[in-house]
Each structure stands twice: as structure tokens, then as C-alpha cells.
Amino acid sequence: MRIGRSATVSDTGRRRLHNEDAFVCQPPLFAIADGMGGAQAGEIASRLATNALEQHGGATGEDAVAHLVQAANASVYRHAAADPAAAGMGTTTTVLLVDAAAGTIAVGHVGDSRAYRIRGEQLEQLTRDHSLVQELVDSGRLTPDEAIGHPHRSVITRAVGTEPSVDVDTFTVELAVGDLYLLCSDGLTDMVGDDVILARALAAGREPEVVARALVDEANRAGGDDNITVIAFEIEAGEPPAAPEAPPVLAPDAPTAENAAAEQPTGQTAAAGRVRRHGAGAGGRAFALAAIVLALAAAALLIWWSLGR
């Protein structure tokens, strides 16, 4: 098996002035980033992330994907720390790294930009949104139908670049000849349902360029409330290209001391199968909690000293 045709269409949509989506379409690496932040900071964040992802150097597998996303996180976080106008900026990041020789794709995911697979006449959402609405659905407080069109559907619970380290969900899926993979920002999925995505892809004959254009046009017809980006690529029969010798996978430069802690992957079950989480995890939260406790203790000591004067 090998990667066949691939294509990307990215559009500002009908209501936004700037396109804050960015993408990488450099087989065997495909990635999408949807930026957030005021004063065009979202546009900067997404492009910093994709620039970092482009430096993958030929490594494969879940650990390689996780380190790529951590490198993107470090790049965005450093810029935000150095530029007050960019404080708080961040981006979603979803990465597909194809290993045709092994017959697999390693997926890395943060945020609510989605990866889909069309196999036969079935559409499968591979990634699980890191969003408030998804958490409400998971907890039973919203039904999937109620989640569609929810006013807070774009509120994400995890982003690249907002903290020194980020939890990255990774998993691996098996390739099959005839598969069509889609990466898309929420400018598509907030406007177009999965059934319509599948119908348009099948009507377009699964041709990546035609599929990507048809889906962006469909989102604009539905209102085009946000930027819309779609990447599509196919898997075909044939010998994969010879793989270069992979360099060692190195951790990204840490923007702060907290990011120097070793990764502690933990298991997590998701619809897409086995999912690993890479990142600071509980250690970062424990550090934050300790800082809060120390601050409260200092405040209490100051009040006691003032009353005793």
C-alpha cells in the first residue's frame, strides 16, 4: 500500500475576516491547526504549530507524533510568553503520520479538529473532540442530537500552546486499500453533519481534490460561520516509497522548567480504539495546586500579622 492522491482546500468562510486555520499536506505527514486568540493571535498560533510539525524529519509512530505536537506546543507557548499581545493564544492540532510500509497511521490529537476515515461506504470519526459539548455528551447531560448547534459547541477543553506542556492523545489505525482520510477544522463539522460529509464524498467519487472542494462549498452554503479547511488523501495499492533512516526522536526544547518532566503516558479508552495520553498530566496540576496552597497560606499569615500589630 502507499499514499495516493492528496489535496487541501482552505477557505475563510463567509463571516470571518482572517483565516486562522493552517495545515500541512506533505506526505506522509498531514496536519491541521485551527487557531484561537484575539488580534490575529490565532492565525499566528496555528502557523507556528504547523511550522514546527513540518520539521518531523522522517520518524514514525505514536511517540514521534506526540513529540511533534509537544514541539508545536513549545513554539506557540514561547511566542505567547514573549509577546503580551499574543498572551493566551492557542490552537487545535490534529496530525496523521502514515507509515505505509507498516500499513498504519499514527494519529496525534488536541482540540476539536477532526480526523475521519471513509472505508467502503462507512464514515468513521477517528478522533474524539476535546470540547465542553463532548464532555456534556459523555456525561449524559446532552444527547448527540442536542449537541448539534449547541451555543457552546466551539468551546474546547484542551489546546496547543496555552500551557508549558499539553496532553496529546495518540493512537494507531490500520490502513486498507481504498481508504479515504479526511482532516477538517470545526468550520466544516459545525456546519455539516456526518451523513452529509459521507454523501458528498461518495458523490465526488472519493477523488481527494473534488471531495475537499465539495465539503468546503457545502459548509459555505450552510452559512460559513467559521474558517473551513479540509485535507483529503487516499490509500492505494502499490509499493510504498523507500523509507529514509529515521533519526532519533528527541523531546522538544522546554520553554520552562516545568516542561522538563518526563512524559507519563496513561491508557484511555475511546471510540477509535486504544488511546495514549502524552504530557504533563497530573504533575502539572499538582504543581498548580501547590502554588495555590502556598499563596493562601501567605495571605493568611499576612492577615494574622496585621491583626496582631
Indicate if 272 and 173 belong to the same structural domain.
yes
Lowest mean pLDDT among 48-52, 132-136, 221-225: 132-136
Contact present, 99 and 106 (Cβ < 8 Å): yes
Residues 62 and 203 in one domain: yes
Question: Domain check: are 231 and 268 in the same one?
Answer: yes
Question: Between these two residues, 49 and 306, which has the higher pLDDT value?
Answer: 49
The yes-or-no verdict on residue 252 having pLDDT over 80 is: no
What is the distance between the alpha carbons of residues 253 and 281, in angstroms, rounded to a whole number?
18
SS3 3: strand
Q: What span, in angstroms and rounded, lies between the C-alpha atoms of 238 and 255?
A: 43
Based on the fold, state whether residues 80 and 200 are members of the same structural domain: yes
Q: Which residue has the higher pLDDT, 124 or 283?
A: 124
Whether the upstream peptide bond of residue 240 has omega within 30° of 0, thus cis, is: no
Q: How many domains does the chain have?
A: 2
Closest CA to 128 of 165, 167, 87, 84: 167
Q: Does 267 share its domain with 304?
A: no
Binned at pLDDT 50, 70 and 90, residue 29 comes out as very high
Residues spanned by the domain of 115: 2-278
CATH classification of the domain holding 44:
3.60.40.10
- Within this chain, do residues 59 and 190 fall inside the same structural domain, yes or no? yes
CA–CA distance, 263 with 46 (Å, rounded to integer): 24
Query: In this structure, are 36 and 48 located in the same domain?
Result: yes
What pLDDT does 241 receive?
Answer: 74
pLDDT bin (cut points 50, 70, 90) of residue 13 is very high
> Could you read off the pLDDT of 115-129 as tens digits, one per residue?
999 999 999 999 999
Q: Are residues 104 and 169 in the same domain?
A: yes
Which H or E element spans position 13?
none
Q: Are residues 139 and 217 both part of a single domain?
A: yes
Residues 68 and 194 in one domain: yes
Residue 32 and residue 132 in one domain? yes
Structure confidence by residue, pLDDT tens digits, 96-107: 999 999 999 999
pLDDT reported for residue 3 = 97
In this structure, are 242 and 308 located in the same domain?
no
Q: What is the mean pLDDT of residues 29-39?
A: 87
Average pLDDT over residues 54-67: 90
Q: Which residues contact 21 (CB under 8 A, 6 or more apart)?
A: 10, 32, 33, 34, 35, 46, 185, 187, 227, 228, 229
Mean pLDDT, to the nearest integer, of 175-189? 96
- pLDDT band at residue 88 using 50, 70 and 90 as cut-offs: confident
pLDDT number for residue 262: 32
- The sign of the dihedral angle between the CA atoms of 174, 114, 45, 166 is negative
